[in-house]
Amino acid sequence: MEANNELMSNVRLEGNNIIRRSERETLLIEPWGKNALRVRATPNGKIEEFGWSALNGQSKKLYGECKTSIESNKARITYGKITCEVLPSGKLKFLNDKGKIILEEYDRNRFRKDQEGFNSALHINPRIFNSILGTDNYSLEMRFEANEGEKIFGMGQYQQPNLNLKGCILELAQRNSQASVPFMISNHGYGLLWNNPAIGKVTFGENLTEWTAKSTKQLDYWITVDDSPGNIEENYTDVVGRAPTIPEYALGFWQCKLRYQTQEELLEVAREYKRRGLPISVIVCDFYHWPYEGDWRFDEEYWPDPKAMVDELKDMGIELMVSVWPTVEYQSESFADMFENQMLVRTEMGGRITQLNNAKFIDATNSKARNYVWNKLKKNYYDYGIRTFWLDEAEPEYFEYAFEQYRYQLGSDLEVGNSYPRYYSQMVYDGLKQEQQEDIISLVRCAWVGSQKYGSLIWSGDIDSSFRSLRNQLSAGLNMGLAGIPWWTTDIGGFHGGHIEDKKFHECLVRWFEFGAFCPVFRLHGDREPHKKPLGTTKGAQVASGADNEVWTYGDEVYAICKKYMFIREKLQEYIKQQMEIASTKGTPVMRPLFYDYYDDEKTWEIKDEYMFGSEILVAPILYEEMTERKVYFPKGNWIHIDTKEEYKGNQTCIVQAPLNSMPVFVLKGEKTNLINRYGL
């Protein structure tokens, strides 16, 4: 259907879609999911569907009627609770079902025929494509008006303490300890996905919001409107995918350190946990258990009988997780084959430029490379009974993050680089599925939109051992959950540093351990001081090991506290399983800010140092050294302290005592029962 007036002559309706063509772009708006629209634009004439898109698969199913129209001074699409108006200038406005503008594009031009916006001499369009000469790619700038009083959450994992991202500038790039998952939730009742894996930046400024991509062929974003954060999250995960069913063993305690050097050392640690009667579900074999990066197998000198090791651990009820790196050293048995068959990341200039230490990265965007590596993993790990993999270096972590230097099968790093960790997770997920494996989980150091559907458990990378870092992890975990990744964990105690005899570190470790017991996955890891000497001078044996990192390593006081929280976690297994099932069916984060459940309470939108662990547990972690009491805000209801059994009424703030052996944790009191008497806390 063509418009029959001068102002809207370049707009037409095509089915449920609105298409606008102008000299500088083709614009497509279409219904996509529940109460949601997808917006795409390109100067190249044709709207494309790229393989990396987070909106592939079953995500275009419609919910109800979509209405489109062209009027004298605007085109309109209404779908459920969301409406988009297209003005003659091409500017877009988004409204909720009450007619309120919740988001509009930033347009600063003079003498608009539709009299919209400012009479401005700036000449700034909302969508700006700057040509990259000699290519069909563009650097992209996309601007929205800033909403007064807006609060913004999500976007993945960044190492900073801000839960509310309004006022923040975020790099859209993957780094060790940083995961760009560009979906945001606003307190103004909408969620927006930047469906573009290009390296870029977003600025949530007070004067405007600006998204940029350094190299791309088209603009692509998705927006949903709904009545609550939970509904927005459900709409979002419905179109990008949800986590599968988590294996039950993953809900218990995970023991890890840098690094167990031999098969016997690892087994003896597992045996000691059992001798002490401590609950343990997973033990981890960290990096350099291999001869060379890219061999993807045990070094038989130090790990002589992997099957016997796996069998003994299974008899103890413990799963073995093994570290997998996407790096291939020149000396490895795989390098020549992968290099000659174009399965490694290429460089734009120069020869075999080293990408990490003495190695190059596999090209995870290449299905041939993924299949090649999986076949190695199957032969050398899976066939021994190993079902759980630790996918380290998943960003990937280049020696220098010179994103313009690297190229994948799917395109340049600048154009598609942020999707790398998702393809890396898919490598193991697809392989395990081929073997009829169910309930898949992989520990992965990075993610992009949709990583969750490949069983990705994200951890927050190689962070330092400090209270400052602990504070960052709380905001990182909460925002990661809101970005659609419900399986999240952190190195308890931090990774870098932490001397095992340092009393100040003991305090940090204890507070982190208490927090870790109420994270989706409960995992102890770290590179502790003082280091142990390497076992050899060649291959993986030349890499040193950190000091011991078991719960009994730090003395009797620390051990007693760790033991207490290990058993609390054990008692909550059924509750956590229920929350994981909700995450798999609705996309609900297991750990989430208070406003997720109590969005009608304006105070909860201000709380950044408490969170809900499922719907019945309120956690108020201790995030500062020498803190033995803290303020706790209680939303509506009655709340019972799990240690003191003291009851607190909702809608108030109280001072709660927090000696070293007690983190303030509260359960919601029910009419007939609560978690304390249900699970014997």
Q: Render pLDDT for 635-666 as a digit per residue (tens, 0 to 9).
A: 999 999 999 999 999 999 999 999 999 999 99
Residue 671: band (very low, low, confident or very high) from pLDDT cuts 50, 70, 90: confident
pLDDT at 112: 55
pLDDT of residue 473: 98
Whether 351 shows a pLDDT value over 80: the answer reads no
Class of domain 11-240: mainly beta
- CB–CB of 470/514 below 8 Å? no
Percent of the chain exceeding pLDDT 90 equals 91
Tokens read off for 486: 């419900």
pLDDT of residue 436: 97
Task: Give the pLDDT of residue 114.
Answer: 52
Q: Which pair of structure tokens corresponds to residue 330? A: 């020149």
pLDDT tens digit sequence for 261-281? 999 999 999 999 999 999 999
Per-residue model confidence (pLDDT) at position 350: 67
Question: For the chain, what is the radius of gyration of the CA atoms?
Answer: 26
Burial 193-217 (b: 16+ CB within 10 A, else e): bbbbbbbbebbbeeeebbbbbbbbb
Does position 60 have pLDDT exceeding 80, yes or no? no
Higher pLDDT, 293 or 123: 293
**Cβ proximity of 597 and 636 under 8 Å:** no
Burial label, 436 (beta-carbon count in 10 A; 0-12, 13-18, 19+) = exposed
pLDDT of residue 122: 86
> Dihedrals φ, ψ of 655, to 5°?
-85, 125
In whole angstroms, give the CA distance from residue 528 to residue 1: 68
State the pLDDT at residue 159.
98
Checking if the pLDDT of 4 tops 70, the result is: no
What would the pLDDT profile of 379-415 be if each residue is shown by its tens digit?
999 999 999 999 999 999 998 899 999 999 999 999 9
Q: What does the pLDDT look like over 622-634, one tens digit per residue?
A: 999 999 999 999 9
Q: Mean pLDDT across the chain, nearest whole number?
A: 95
Give me the residue label for tokens 């994981």.
580
Do 199 and 403 meet the contact criterion of CB atoms below 8 Å apart? yes
Query: How many whole angstroms separate alpha carbon 478 and alpha carbon 471?
Result: 12
Q: Which residues of 13-45 are buried (b: 16+ CB within 10 A; e: fewer)?
A: beebbbbbeeeebbbbbbbbbbbbbbbbbbbee
Residue in 358, 327, 330 with CA at minimum distance from that of residue 345: 327
Residue pair 440/433 in contact (Cβ under 8 Å)? The answer is yes
pLDDT digit string, tens, across residues 194-224: 999 999 999 999 999 999 999 999 999 999 9
Mean pLDDT of 500-518: 98
What CATH number labels 248-583?
Answer: 3.20.20.80
The per-residue pLDDT for range 592-614, each reduced to its tens digit, is: 999 999 999 999 999 999 999 99
Domain boundaries, the chain: 11-240, 248-583, 593-679
Question: Positive or negative, the Cα torsion across 335, 340, 341, 345?
Answer: positive
pLDDT tens-digit series, residues 428-487: 999 999 999 999 999 999 999 999 999 999 999 999 999 999 999 999 999 999 999 999
Q: What pLDDT sits at residue 368?
A: 98
Give the rounded distance of the alpha carbon of 680 from its chain centre.
33
CA distance 137 to 42: 10
Task: Kindly list the distances between the CA atom of residue 75 and the CA atoms of 3, 86, 281, 651, in Å, as whole numbers in the listed order.
Answer: 9, 5, 57, 45
**Confidence grade of residue 545 (pLDDT, cut at 50, 70, 90):** very high
In DSSP terms, 529 is beta-bridged to 499
In this predicted model, what pLDDT tens digit does every residue of 138-189 receive, in sequence order? Answer: 999 999 999 999 999 999 999 999 999 999 999 999 999 999 999 999 999 9
- When the candidates are 2.60.40.1080, 2.60.40.1180, 3.40.50.300, 2.102.10.10, the CATH number that belongs to 593-679 is 2.60.40.1180
Structure token digits, residue 111: 């003498």
Token couple for 654: 């109280």
pLDDT at position 598 is 98
pLDDT reading at 556 higher than 60: yes
Fold agreement (11-240, 593-679):
yes
- 3-class DSSP state for residue 542? helix
Read off the amino acid at residue 12: R
Q: Supply the pTM of this predicted model.
A: 0.97
Res 7: pLDDT: 79
Q: Which residues are catalytic?
A: 392, 395, 462
Question: 3-state SS string over 416-452?
Answer: HHHHHHHHHHHHHHHHHHHCCCCCCCEEECCCCCCHH
Place of tokens 């609705």: 586
The better pLDDT of the pair 119, 168 is held by 168
Alpha helices, DSSP H only, in 498-618? 503-516, 556-571, 573-586, 594-597
User: Is residue 77 scored above 70 in pLDDT?
Assistant: yes
The answer, yes or no, to whether the previous bond of 259 is cis (omega within 30 of 0) is yes
Task: Name residue 540's amino acid.
Answer: G
